[in-house]
Chain A
Amino acid sequence: MIRRRKIAIWLLVLGTLHAIVICAGFFAPYNPIEQDRKNPYLPPMRLHFVDTQKHFHLRPFVYPFQLRAGTFDQYVEDTAQPRSLHFFVAGAPYRLLGFLPARLHLFGAGSERIYLLGTDAFGRDQFSRLLFGGQVSLLAGLFGAAFTLLIGWFVGTVAGYFGGWRDELLMRIAELFLALPWLYLLFAIRAFLPLTVNPLEAFFLIVAVIAAVGWARPARLVRGIVLSAKERDFVRAARGFGASGFYLLRRHILPETSSVLLTQAAILIPQYVLAEMTLSFLGLGVPEPVPSWGNLLSNLQQYSVLVSYWWMYLPALLMVPFFLGYLGLASALQESPEPYKIERRSLGSLA
């Protein structure tokens, strides 16, 4: 019971996070592609409740930035022009879930701009780019994991159920794929595909490449389960009633694989999100101007950005909750349904 509750909690956490990203149009104040060339590399605007006259305002507000006199890369808050945050405002049009036209945003400041995470080189709002980028990266991770698991499930079942030369062949091929460090394999496959593609093609390309890399481990796991399930007495008994192979697989063997597939899903999705991020970061993934979590961080490769605009790193920290959610889910799934207490064997207890 405890395990089920833990799983439910983590699913709730993940669901909420994903819902925010799915409804990025609503939660983000601006279009991620919109540029504001006059304000590149702005630091994050801090939320204030108390103004310079020590008055408390219920409605939070921010100060815009202006260049510190004598420098061209240091900003100070311009306390003369506070901008209030309004909630549920109408803003730039977007399509909720990809097809419902809408204009409502969670917050905004009318015609003024609010940059909660600052801006990038082109003056684009980092916060909006984070949310929209999440759509791309998380979706790539989810699709990639789904395809990998599908391939691995199929291969593992064929290898485990039929055995013989099919098993040998498939497992040898799996070994080949496992013999390469996965990132090298990813790069190699990506290398041999067209480099300049439009964002949609790039997305599918990445998903396909990611899926092609990781099928070997799930395949081995599924194979193991199918092999052992095949020899279980209740499967032999079912054969004794005249069951066909297909029936055995459907009713008895494949249900045994469900738990390992779920656990693998929780482990693989964050890995694949990371894979997409890595590819995009290095320019081999989703190209500009479409935001992705990798793109978001790619300008940190420039030394000048590291020195002067270190806040460009902040979006990376906000990605952590997603990974935390998947890790928590994977841990909860891997706990045995009836956890027995491993006795702590502390040495010296005999004394």
Chain B
Amino acid sequence: MEPVLKVENLVKRYAKRILVGPPQDFLALDGVSFAVSSRSTLAIVGESGSGKSTLASCIACLEAPTSGNIWFEGRNLAHSAESELRKTRPQIQLIFPDPASSLNSGWSILEIVAEPLALQGKLGRKERELLACSLLERVGLSAEIAARPASGLSGGQRQRLAIARALTLDPKILILDEALSSLDCSTQAQIANLLLELQDTLGMTFLFITHDLTMAAHLADEIAVMSAGRIVEHGPTPDVLRNPSHEATRQLLAAVPQLPRSSWPAIQQ
């Protein structure tokens, strides 16, 4: 099947120019290539600084890569004009790591969820409100709280809100950039299950970026391991976990806290 997203040789270089002295460049992505099939979940794991967030920004068209290709729906997003990108961005939504800063805390919950719709300007106010409330219910938030300010929500509730907001424009791809990392364990599990359910019903593709291998194992069909701006290993989840071929993967596996043999989770399946 044709992959819904194909990344070829993506390079992102940050140039740091000071007035005197040689420029100090920082290479965040050093030739990243992979493909994602429709309705699947690809987990991108790696330690801090491996370039995962930069990759997410580039795919979501929030930053322009230095070179390389990003193929989505027949278009190369790395070489598209701003006006083209503005039409494409709603299709690839990004959920941010910190739910507190990804929502404008001065706004009400309804305003936040309905913002993308208001931006697109296609629906009337009543219709926007209805759609927004239905999406709130979808992610497990009650529509009654819609009028309240967003500042009163807990971390898990905020991420649900962020997901609801992302869903309003019917995206094809949802990128979750460490979206669960700031939540406590039980909330993480709840939202992970929500995501699985959404994927089943809406047929979405997920890009799950994390440093948590256990969560990746739970959610992903394929795992790609990143280290120093490159993908060093890529394969179906069980293969990567059982037979890691790269040192980076092995280090990540070793970092997973080991529970006593009798209660090993499904990671060992």
Contact = CB atoms under 8 A, between A and B. Distances in A.
The answer to whether any beta carbons of A and B sit under 8 Å apart in the complex is yes
A242 B101 contact: no
A236 B86 contact: no
Interface in A242-260: 242-244, 247, 252, 255
A237 B89 CA distance: 10
Contacts of B126: none
Given A233-B101, A244-B86, A238 B94 contact: no
B93 A240 contact: yes
A242 B87 CA distance: 6
A239 interface: yes
Nearest to A232: B101
A241 B119 contact: yes
Nearest to A231: B101
Contact of B115 (A233, A241, A244, A255): A241
Interface in B112-170: 115-116, 119-120, 162, 165-166, 169
Nearest to A233: B102
Nearest to B171: A240
Interface in A204-257: 232-234, 236-244, 247, 252, 255
Contacts of B98: 233
Contact of B94 (A237, A243, A252): A237
Contacts of A232: 101
Nearest to B103: A234
Contacts of B106: 255
Interface residues of B, number: 26
Given A233-B102, A234-B101, A240 B115 contact: no
A236 B96 contact: yes
B96 A241 contact: no
Nearest to A237: B102
A247 B119 contact: yes
A242 B60 contact: no
Contacts of B60: 240
A241 B90 contact: yes
Contacts of B89: 239-242
B119 A252 contact: no
A209 to B, nearest CB: 34
A243 B90 CA distance: 10
Given A244-B86, A252-B104, A238 B62 contact: no
B62 A240 contact: yes
B101 A240 contact: no
A242 B103 contact: no
A232 B97 CA distance: 12
A233 B53 CA distance: 13
Nearest to B96: A233
Nearest to A247: B119
Contacts of B102: 233-234, 236-237
A244 to B, nearest CB: 7
A240 B169 CA distance: 10
A255 B104 CA distance: 11
Contacts of B165: 237
Contacts of A240: 60-62, 89-90, 92-94, 166
Interface in B21-77: 57, 60-62
Contacts of B86: 242, 244
B23 to A, nearest CB: 16
Contacts of A236: 57, 62, 94, 96, 102
A217 to B, nearest CB: 24
Interface string A102-119: 000000000000000000
B59 to A, nearest CB: 11
Contacts of A238: 115, 119
Interface of A: 232-234, 236-244, 247, 252, 255
Q: Which 8 A-B pairs have the closest CB atoms?
A: A233-B102, A241-B116, A233-B96, A233-B101, A234-B104, A242-B86, A242-B90, A241-B119
15 contacts: A233-B98, A233-B102, A234-B103, A236-B94, A237-B96, A237-B162, A239-B62, A240-B61, A240-B89, A240-B90, A241-B116, A242-B90, A244-B86, A247-B119, A255-B106
